[in-house]
């Protein structure tokens, strides 16, 4: 329709060359005037739209520049093959753009996340929903980096994804700080062993597993004999040196599935798990003997070589307690009973419940029944 108005305008202007036309035919002028005004309006609107379009394109260019300066941006097809990669992606991954384009996003996959993690992610975006989360990726040189990622699916006319846009920010420094904070919260700064908090939480978890699967476990409480004398004689620095070496030796006395922790001072704990019911006592005894022998060996310190021993108390789950608090209390009581003679281990069932003194009674293998 606009073309016809423009045509009328052109014809009118041509007729306007004849000055007599405007005088002789004023009615024609009146008929032509609306077309002229409409054409002028269209012209003005086009100019306005052109300026708005230019402004919008400028803003989009600026936003794209800002996004590329801040974020790691990439696009993939529905199979995860990379179709676009910005400079930030190239820079942080260590791959050239030609090494990224056309290759699958698995190129930067680390071993941090499980298969279920990625299945859940793909299920979300394949259903046309935005996925957000934290992902650990691998650089070309083998180093790793963490990103906070948002993956946006672009849908076709049928509502099915035709491409995915991934916008990520580098949070490696934040994650490393968080890991350090978590380490300080759950690990002893002197020995690098798990601390009391970690030990209690892990014991609760192991008891839940044992209750669910009707299995057994042993809890060992250990106290270093003569540590106070060493600390008082040679000073705290050499006392700390002794604790670090004792922690290292204890770690070598247990299996990979067992947990060695430091409660504080010269007290340590060990949780023995993944043990067959009939093998629990023999394995516990063997480990206790190994610990007694290993910690009786001389400890070379900065200015002296010292000899110590260790007292060990043992409580068994479930016969000596079904709750962590009960198990801890009974292992502690057994340890203090062993402390009376030092350099020995005692099961809780082998001490008098009133005097907490050894009574020489050998422990009996625990019988596991479902919790009521």
Exactly one of 266, 332, 343, 352 is catalytic; name it: 266
**Taking a C-beta distance cutoff of 8 angstroms, is the pair 206, 187 a contact?**
no
Q: HSE on the CB side for 283, CA within 13 Å?
A: 20
User: First CA to last CA across the chain, in angstroms?
Assistant: 86
Helix (H, G, I), strand (E, B) or coil at 111: coil
Q: Cα 289 vs. chain centroid, distance in angstroms?
A: 38
Largest Cα separation within the chain, whole Å, is 136
Phi, psi of 324 (to 5 degrees): -60, -40
**Cβ burial 207-246 (10 Å sphere, 16+ → b, else e):** beebeeeebbbbbbbbbbbbbeebbeebeeebbebbbeeb
Judged by phi (left if over 0) then psi (alpha if -120 to 50, else beta), residue 321 lies in left
Helix (H, G, I), strand (E, B) or coil at 120: helix
Residue 260's closest CA among 328, 335, 198, 331? Answer: 198
CA distances, 138 to each of 72, 135, 295 (Å):
14, 10, 42
366: DSSP letter: P
297: DSSP letter: S
Residue 80's closest CA among 108, 60, 52? Answer: 108
* Whether residue 266 lies in the annotated active site: yes
Active-site residues, by number, are 266
């Amino acid at each position: 329709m606009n073309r016809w108005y423009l045509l009328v305008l052109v014809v009118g202007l041509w007729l306007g060359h004849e000055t007599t036309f405007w005088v002789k035919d004023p009615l024609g002028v009146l008929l032509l005037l609306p077309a002229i005004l409409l054409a002028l309006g269209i012209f003005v609107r086009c100019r306005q739209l052109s300026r708005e379009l230019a402004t919008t394109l400028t803003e989009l260019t600026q936003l794209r520049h800002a996004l590329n300066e801040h974020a790691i941006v990439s696009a993939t097809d529905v199979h995860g093959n990379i179709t676009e990669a910005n400079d930030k992606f190239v820079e942080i991954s260590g791959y050239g753009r030609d090494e990224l384009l056309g290759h699958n996003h698995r190129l930067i996959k680390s071993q941090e996340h499980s298969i279920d993690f990625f299945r859940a992610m793909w299920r979300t975006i394949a259903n046309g929903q935005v996925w957000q989360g934290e992902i650990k990726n691998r650089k070309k040189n083998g180093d790793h980096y963490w990103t906070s990622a948002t993956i946006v699916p672009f849908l076709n006319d049928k509502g099915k994804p035709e491409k995915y846009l991934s916008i990520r920010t580098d949070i490696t420094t934040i994650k490393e700080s968080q890991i350090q904070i978590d380490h300080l919260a759950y690990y002893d700064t002197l020995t690098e062993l798990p601390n009391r908090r970690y030990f209690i939480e892990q014991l609760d978890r192991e008891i839940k597993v044992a209750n669910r699967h009707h299995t057994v476990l042993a809890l060992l409480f250990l106290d270093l004999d003569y540590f106070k004398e060493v600390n008082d004689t040679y000073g705290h620095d050499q006392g700390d040196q002794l604790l670090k070496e004792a922690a290292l030796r204890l770690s070598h006395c247990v299996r990979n599935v067992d947990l060695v922790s430091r409660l504080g001072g010269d007290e340590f704990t060990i949780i023995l798990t993944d043990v067959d019911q009939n093998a629990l006592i023999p394995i516990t005894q063997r480990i206790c003997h190994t610990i007694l022998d290993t910690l009786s060996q001389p400890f070379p310190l900065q200015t002296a070589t010292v000899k110590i021993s260790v007292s060990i108390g043992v409580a068994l789950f479930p016969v000596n307690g079904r709750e962590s608090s009960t198990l801890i209390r009974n292992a502690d009581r057994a340890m203090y009973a062993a402390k009376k003679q030092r350099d020995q281990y005692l099961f809780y069932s082998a001490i008098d419940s009133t005097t907490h003194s050894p009574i020489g009674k050998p422990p009996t293998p625990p019988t596991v029944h479902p919790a009521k």
